Amino acid sequence: MTAQCGEIVTWNVRDVFVARGDVIDALEANDIMGLKVPYSEPSTFLRRAIKQCADDGVIRKIGEDGDVVSFAIVDEDTDLVTSSWTGSMREAITLRKTTGEVTFKYDSELSVRILEAYTQQSLAMTSHEVFNTIKRVVIAVCNGTALRPHGGVYFVPSDKCDVLNRLEEAFRSVVDARGNGKARVSINRFAVVTEPRSVADLCSIFSERTALDVDGIGAECIDAIDSEGGVRGKSRPTRLSFNNRIAAVGQMFEKVKSYERALGQSLGSIKGKLAYAYETIQACLDVHLDEAAEHKARRRSRRKNS
């Protein structure tokens, strides 16, 4: 029997509206832990709620100023013959984005409906958010590699295919519990056998994608050092930002090992790139710490002399 080196995975999500807590619980119940589930901005939840409750009213954005954004639902009447327009405001809604607080111009039945819909939206996930949750699991937990430049089709190595089984079960339990006959979360999986051409193609694609990611991390670190002190008008890099990149390189090493096991091939060139990226980040971190120490010493000196 021919060995399987992994699976090609795609997925479709349609007409899904589920509680965020139910998704998190289902993932954890299937041992998919520590995943950051996508969360939309409060303004997105409010737009959805207003659209849901506006009926035949026209939604207008009144304005946005920093932390505050306002919308209006208006009744409009136009007359092409006389080139005239008349309108009246049914409700005005203001959102404070940092806190999610919503206020209304009028105390109306419509405002109650919008607030209820807004609360419901903020606790739920739509098809788009479920789609992105699956994408995060495939990439971060299953070590998936995109087979197309813009994603959508991924290869998952054989030692991570069990996660796909658990992912399917998690979303099946959530969708079935909601009882929405139209809702669909389908994960399409196609086995890839270990044969020379398939292995060679997958090695090439994985190496190319990983090399781009590694080069990007290295370039970010060098750019961060160049912008030290705000030379380019950017915020100062932190020790944590460099440590996060070192951790990312470590995760890439583990991913390479997973692919070597699945494909039965050595990926030494990528390991070499990762080792070089690690050294680059570490060198940038050392420079950052030296400059931070010098900056601290200068501040102490100025305070002492003042």
Domain final position from 84, 107, 122: 122
Each residue's pLDDT tens digit, 211-261: 888 888 878 777 776 665 544 445 566 778 888 888 888 888 888 888 888
Q: Is residue 98 a part of any domain in this protein?
A: yes
Global pTM value: 0.71
Single residue among 122, 150, 183 that ends a domain in this structure: 122
Residue 150 falls inside a structural domain: no
Q: What is the pLDDT of residues 179-209, one digit of tens each?
A: 555 678 889 998 888 787 778 888 888 888 8
Name the least confident of 34-38, 225-229, 259-263, 284-288.
225-229
56 in a domain, yes or no? Answer: yes
Q: Is residue 263 part of a domain?
A: yes
Q: Is residue 192 part of a domain?
A: no
Q: Give the structural domain span for 79.
A: 42-122
Q: Which of 122, 144, 163 is the last residue of a domain?
A: 122
Instruction: Report pLDDT for 232.
Output: 44
| Three-state DSSP class for residue 208 | helix
The domain that holds 113 is classified in CATH as: 3.30.160
Q: What is the mean pLDDT of the chain?
A: 84
pLDDT band of residue 39 (cuts 50, 70, 90) is confident
Domain count, the chain: 2
**Is the per-residue pLDDT at 16 higher than 50?**
yes
> What is the number of other CB atoms lying within 10 angstroms of the CB of residue 66?
8
242 contacts 285 by C-beta, under 8 angstroms: yes
The Cα 143–Cα 104 span in angstroms is 47
Are 136 and 163 contacting, i.e. CB atoms less than 8 angstroms apart? no
Q: Does residue 192 contact residue 198 with C-beta atoms inside 8 Å? A: yes
Residue 179: its pLDDT value, please?
A: 58
Question: Has residue 304 got a pLDDT over 80?
Answer: no
- Would you say 87 and 100 are in contact if contact means Cβ atoms under 8 Å apart? no
For residue 73, name the pLDDT band (cuts at 50, 70, 90): very high
How far apart are the C-alpha atoms of 74 and 235, rounded to whole Å?
A: 42
Terminal C-alpha separation, the chain: 80
State the Cα–Cα distance between residues 123 and 53, nearest whole angstrom.
Answer: 17
Strand partners, 154: 9, 146
Around Cβ 202, how many Cβ atoms within 10 Å? 23
DSSP class of residue 77? E
pLDDT for the residue 230 = 44
The pLDDT of residue 242 is 82
Is residue 158 domain-resident? no
Residue 104 domain-assigned (yes or no): yes
Nearest to 124 by CA among 238, 31, 44, 230: 44
Query: How confident is the model over 87-123, as pLDDT tens digits?
Result: 889 999 999 988 999 999 988 899 999 999 999 988 8
Q: Which position has the token pair 């009882």? A: 179
Dihedral sign for Cα atoms in the order 290, 295, 296, 301: positive
Give a yes or no: residue 240 inside a domain: yes
What are the DSSP calls for 225-264, one per residue? HHTTTSTTSPPPP-HHHHHHHHHHHHHHHHHHHHHHHHHT
Band (pLDDT 50/70/90 cuts) for residue 166 is very high
203 plus 301 within the same structural domain: yes
